[in-house]
Chains A and B, each alone.
Chain A
Amino acid sequence: MEVTLTEDQEFFRETTQRFLDQKSSVSVVRSFRGHDDGFERDYWRQGAELGWVSLLVPEELGGGSISGRGVVDLTLVADAFGSHTAPGPLLPSNMVAAALARSGSEAQRADTLPAVIAGEIVPAWVVGPPSGGTVTSGVTASRDGDGFVLDGVQGPVEAAAQAELLLVTAQLDDGLAQFLVTPDAPGVTITRLDSIDLTRRYGRVQLEGVRVGADDAVGTPGEAAADVDRLLQLALVVQTAEMVGAAQVVFDMTLEWMFDRYSFGRPLASYQNLKHRFADMKMWLEASHAMAAAAARAVQEETREAADVASMAKAYNGQYLPELAQDCVQMHGGIGVTYEHDIHLYLRRITVDTVMHGSPADHRQRVVSLREVA
């Protein structure tokens, strides 16, 4: 999150925080363990009313930002999602809304987009991790008359089994394409996966000879690489902000523990070995805040280096924040690896964010590829 927010942003942040304090308390999050969907539809619609899915969509298409900088505004929600390990399909909803706003047809913008913004439709974003300078997909598309046939497997895909709509990224022989597919279309099989997050659900999407029409395409088939890359950048902004939001809570709760826990007649906070590890963690945490904010700014402004900075933010936060969380577990001792303690809620969220949409290693290598092209 930026060091200073505008008044409107501060108000928006507080509203979301208050809402989540109530609707996504630790006990609520815990109650979703084993729940099929990981969130309630009412909750998601209420969140959407607060503006959670409108921020990347221009006003004339029914969206709207808080500050005129919707990408930056979205990091306020993502940060709060991290600090509450909140339920709900925040990332896929915003990615699909952004895709439709950017390249959707008139009909898609008129019929589908408003329902996504309102939280009435839960979408899933079916896409593979980046490899080098491009985004991959496990799905191929082939032309068939006026339409296309989709085949392949992709997963884990967030909220796949909960979604009413899939935005499928597919590899055409001449480039990337994006299609809207309904999960009940013939040839679509979605397998629920066991998620390590208490509320975030994933599925594996299998497509076998799934037929889509030309009007199901989002943007021009074969020419979607730039659109998909933009979505990846946006996804990285959401992820890195959410990770640092979660890591901040882990850090704060562990710091408090250092003062409260005594051994050998003195607080843990008085041991130089632990103090120095906290100094390192503070550095990682502040640098992660800085990288998340830098990524949001660059992606917001669509600077030439936006892809670079977004990937560097993922590479940095993805390398150091899981370590921070695990070291905080270590500082708790035995209680830190129990289900009873809350620290694992955040470790889970940081972990799923780290591995989805490209690992830190994927993004380190992507940074080099992007620089070679430049």
Chain B
Amino acid sequence: MTATVQAEELESVESFRERAREWIQANLAEGSHGFGYRLNLTDEEELADVARQRDLQRKIYDGGFAGICFPKEYGGLGLTPAHQRAFNVETVGHEYPWLLQVPTFVPCAAVLLEFGTEEQKQRHIPAILRGDEIWMQFLSEPSGGSDVAGALTTAVRDGDEWIINGSKIWTTGAYFSDYGLCLLRTNWDVPKHRGLSVFIIKIHQPGIELHRIEMTNGAREFCQEFMTDLRVSDDCRVGDVDDGWTIGRRWMFHERNSMGGGSPYVSGPPLREGPPEGAKDQLVKLAEANGTIGDPRVRDLIGESMTLTRATTELSRRVVEGMSAGTMSDNIAAVTRLMGGMTGVRRNTIAYEITGPSVAASVEGDPGHGTGVNWLVRQSACIGGGTTEMARNNISERVLGMPRERTHDKDLAYRDVPKGPPAKS
């Protein structure tokens, strides 16, 4: 473990935890962490909330607790995942700028840290840690989500600049964000993985048109961007031309890792941790309100939900430990991603079963109000951030070493790869 070598000089986890607890209690208000869809906010309220979360991040930065596992030279603390976990536990029950954690810190800042030029890192990482920059992933395209390397959006070189045309989709909250990390096709004459490059793109500028997508639960946070003759300077390119997939693979890793709760770059209250000790579980409260808490079937379901919550947390802990000890490869993050998705949908179903007919219709203040709408988007836990099907491919192929699926596009120039059914004659 590389961290052990320096461990002597680092502040002990316990002392860090003490300081963090004191600071959090004095500076972060009690309340929910504010994660999840924010359905009932008007755009004005939402933008105000974003501004508040930026301020919160700034407060954490000024307090000396931002970027716990980021290197010191870029404004971080240079500490270990154990310090971060200690901090995370202490934030439970306090407000927290969740909005800025994913995808800004992970995967975007994590990718910059690994592949950015010194100048790019100096320009962006301290700004990210201060809450000045919110980042989005410009990754999926309307033509396909799982086949990320099949990007069609193209950058063509023009002197010191690149001209970009195409469309990206599923960016959460791009309308209130500042930068996008963007995977683009720079070469159509080689197989798909060898013709990609990564760029940093400022979101609000001429040449990018934003469109908001409404989800089945009414949320309008996902966006689609249309880029038309957008010009980007070459110093915004991350990594070598046409070598974008080297970055892309690590990018996917960081994303999977964040979905499973195992990333050292995300701070804040663990999302899937149960309530603080002694506090009542939400489902217990719901069943009490419905008068069903004495029903053994209901108790069984609640116990299952609590168990899955805990198992997800413990699995993340184990995987982070295994990766930092070097006994598990980074690909193991696909296991936590799968777990997050599968336990997420099961817990959603349990909440829906316990809520009962109020799933169909209820008013604000009724027990379980909102469960029905959550149920409608249940599968997003298994889709967003890479589908669970892709996670299963990654586990079987990269962790267990099973043969890869046969692909038809591996050795073909990407322009010759079929992208739809053959035209009818």
Contact = CB atoms under 8 A, between A and B. Distances in A.
Contacts of B311: 287, 290-291, 312, 316
Contacts of B424: none
A3 B322 contact: yes
Nearest to A285: B335
A316 B315 CA distance: 12
A338 to B, nearest CB: 25
A79 to B, nearest CB: 14
Contact of B284 (A279, A282, A294, A371): A371
B303 A269 contact: no
B interface, over-half SS: helix
Contact of A287 (B281, B314, B392): B314
A35 interface: no
A270 B322 CA distance: 27
B303 A291 contact: no
Contacts of B322: 3
B391 A287 contact: no
A363 B280 CA distance: 18
A367 interface: yes
A368 B402 contact: no
A219 B391 CA distance: 52
A280 B393 CA distance: 11
A368 B277 CA distance: 13
Interface string B76-109: 0000000000000000000000000000000000
A157 B311 CA distance: 30
A276 B335 CA distance: 12
B325 interface: yes
Interface stretch (B36-44, B207-215, B240-248, B294-302): B294-302
A291 B334 CA distance: 18
B306 A270 contact: no
Given A283-B342, A368-B306, A289 B318 contact: yes
A126 B307 CA distance: 28
Given A3-B327, A364-B300, A287 B339 contact: yes
A4 interface: yes
B349 to A, nearest CB: 15
A260 to B, nearest CB: 13
Contacts of A275: 392-393, 396-397, 400, 402
Contact of B310 (A270, A304, A309): A309
B113 interface: no
A278 interface: yes
B299 A368 contact: yes
A interface, over-half SS: helix
Contacts of B396: 269, 275-276, 278-279
Contacts of B395: 278-279, 282-283
B196 interface: no
A107 interface: no
A286 B284 contact: no
A315 B305 CA distance: 11
15 contacts: A3-B318, A3-B328, A269-B396, A278-B396, A278-B400, A279-B393, A282-B399, A283-B338, A283-B339, A287-B314, A287-B315, A290-B314, A312-B310, A316-B308, A371-B306
Interface of B: 277-278, 280-281, 284, 296, 299-300, 302-304, 306-308, 310-312, 314-315, 317-319, 321-322, 325, 327-328, 332, 334-335, 338-339, 342, 389, 391-393, 395-397, 399-400, 402-403, 405
The 5 lowest CB-CB distance pairs between A and B, nearest first, are: A364-B303, A275-B396, A279-B392, A279-B395, A290-B314
Given A365-B300, A371-B281, 10 more contacts: A269-B400, A280-B338, A290-B311, A291-B314, A294-B310, A304-B278, A312-B306, A315-B303, A316-B307, A364-B300
